[in-house]
Amino acid sequence: MKTIIITGGAGFIGSHVVRRFVKNYPNYRIVNLDKLTYAGNLKNLKDIENFPNYIFEKADIVEEEMIFSVFKKYNPDGIIHLAAESHVDRSISNPKEFILTNIVGTVNLLNAAKFLWQDNYNGKLFYHISTDEVYGSLGEDGYFTEETPYDPRSPYSASKAGSDHLVRAYNHTYGLPAIISNCSNNYGPNQFPEKLIPLAINNIKSMKPIPVYGKGENIRDWLYVEDHAAAIDLIFHQGKSGETYNIGGNNEWKNIDLIHKLCEVMDKKLNRARGKSASLITFVKDRAGHDLRYAIDSSKIMKELGWKPTVNFEQGLEKTVDWYLLNEEWLNEVVSGEYRKYYELMYKNR
Ligand code: NAD
Ligand code: TYD
């Protein structure tokens, strides 16, 4: 039996990865290592929490001793590292937390893996999950490839870039088997409603203004979260150590067009008159240093590993809206308390 530690498994993408591994690989012991910050929610994994090959371990990756002791306890064969502070707006108001979790936390995991494996790397892998934002911002044309030079421009992307560099450095210097993948914007069930799509769904549902930064002209490449989880599965099993894989949806949307599309879906689902949800669109002050466009060239993972996205945007948006409307309790719980304070602070001066 193999043991895999998945960090950040109670978060948005991590919960889909944990579920997929727990269900598809009964011969793996899956240890979900998560601090349960505001973004971590064990309810995301309610359906698999009693599976015999699933274990939850509450731990903070910034705490070196804690991480060493968890690694010694489970003696993992592989790490899939998703734990991170992940929201650009929060990184603008509080960069230090991002440096601690994303950089120091990653170094602690690398050190623990290196120590435990003691240079006997046979069958071992440290797989680091990263973002396309490390490549910076594109103009109207072009795509990020695995060779695009790093040019991070927000505290979030700078901290992710730092962690990517460290993973590569451990691979190069100590021979630690490591892979990195850089993915575009994800959407789908369980995403915390501080990110654009779930925030807009929540506001539309309760007839609150939908805040669109600037003129809504920024472009993102959206991928359904289960397609990302499938890519992670494939890379973990078939990717080559030392390599980087870009993952994208080939699905670019201007924010304002995406919001209009989402409003149409919501009007339909909520039996509202056409245009009612769109009347909530409100242009607000732009994000500081707002990257204009991200777009991924996924041809390497498509050619070398045979991955491709399977959920088209129309289907994916419908599935996502259906999930949020059906899981009212999940949504109401996460938007109470701390979230309210966050929302007031983040949007009051926009
Ligand atoms: P998320 O914010 O939803 O979840 C992060 C998880 O990490 C939470 O469960 C949180 O409790 C945990 N965590 C945070 N700090 C921790 C710490 N110090 N110790 C242990 N656990 C901690 O994030 P997400 O959107 O699921 O992103 C997961 C990963 O994927 C991140 O590394 C992110 O950079 C990357 N990524 C995200 C996207 C996206 O669109 N969301 C796209 C590409 C890459
Ligand atoms: P977000 O979901 O925060 O992801 P990222 O910044 O990592 O791409 O934002 C997606 C896009 O939507 C980004 O261009 C910022 C914009 N945005 C808004 O216009 N309004 C909002 O309230 C939020 C949260 C984001």
* Fold annotation for 2-186+223-247: Rossmann fold (3.40.50)
> CB of 185 closer than 6 A to ligand 2?
yes
- Write the single-letter amino acid at 340: R
Å from CA of 5 to ligand 1 middle = 15
Where in the chain are the domains? 2-186+223-247
pLDDT value for 339: 85
Q: Residue 256 burial (CB < 10 Å; 0-12/13-18/19+)?
A: middle
> CB of 211 closer than 6 A to ligand 2?
yes
Is the model's pLDDT at 108 over the cut of 80?
yes
- pLDDT per position as a tens digit, 314-326: 999 999 999 999 9
- Give the sign of the dihedral formed by CA 141, CA 254, CA 283, CA 348: negative
Look up residue 224 and give its two tokens. Answer: 């359904």
User: Under a CB-based contact definition with an 8 Å cutoff, are residues 218 and 266 in contact?
Assistant: no
Catalytic residue among 54, 127, 135, 156: 156
Catalytic residue among 34, 60, 85, 133: 133
pLDDT value for 341: 86
324 is catalytic: no
Strand partners of residue 15: none
Q: Residue 284 burial (CB < 10 Å; 0-12/13-18/19+)?
A: middle
83 Cβ neighbours under 8 A, 6+ residues apart: 7, 8, 11, 14, 33, 34, 35, 61, 101, 105
Å from CA of 156 to ligand 1 middle = 11
Nearest to 144 by CA among 178, 184, 180: 184
User: Under a CB-based contact definition with an 8 Å cutoff, are residues 275 and 80 in contact?
Assistant: no
341 Cβ neighbours under 8 A, 6+ residues apart: none
Å from CA of 215 to ligand 2 middle = 12
Is the model's pLDDT at 119 over the cut of 80?
no
> CB of 21 closer than 6 A to ligand 1?
no
Q: Compute CA 170 distance to the chain's CA centroid, rounded to the nearest angstrom.
A: 23
- pLDDT per position as a tens digit, 151-182: 999 999 999 999 999 999 999 999 999 999 99
Ligand 2 atom 10 nearest Cα: 196
38 is catalytic: no
Q: Residue 11 burial (CB < 10 Å; 0-12/13-18/19+)?
A: buried
DSSP E strands in 237-304: the ranges are 244-247, 252-254, 281-284
Å from CA of 334 to ligand 1 middle = 16
Q: Look at the pTM and tell me if it is higher than 0.85.
A: yes
Going by their DSSP bridges, the two strands 28-34 and 178-183 should be labelled as unpaired
Ligand 2 atom 20 nearest Cα: 212
Look up residue 299 and give its two tokens. Answer: 């041809």
> CB of 84 closer than 6 A to ligand 1?
yes
Averaged pLDDT for residues 289-308: 98
Look up residue 37 and give its two tokens. Answer: 């910050």
- pLDDT per position as a tens digit, 7-43: 999 999 999 999 999 999 999 999 999 999 999 999 9
Among 15, 19, 37, 190, the mutation site with the greatest number of ligand 1 atoms within 8 A of its Cβ is: 37
Look up residue 261 and give its two tokens. Answer: 């599309």
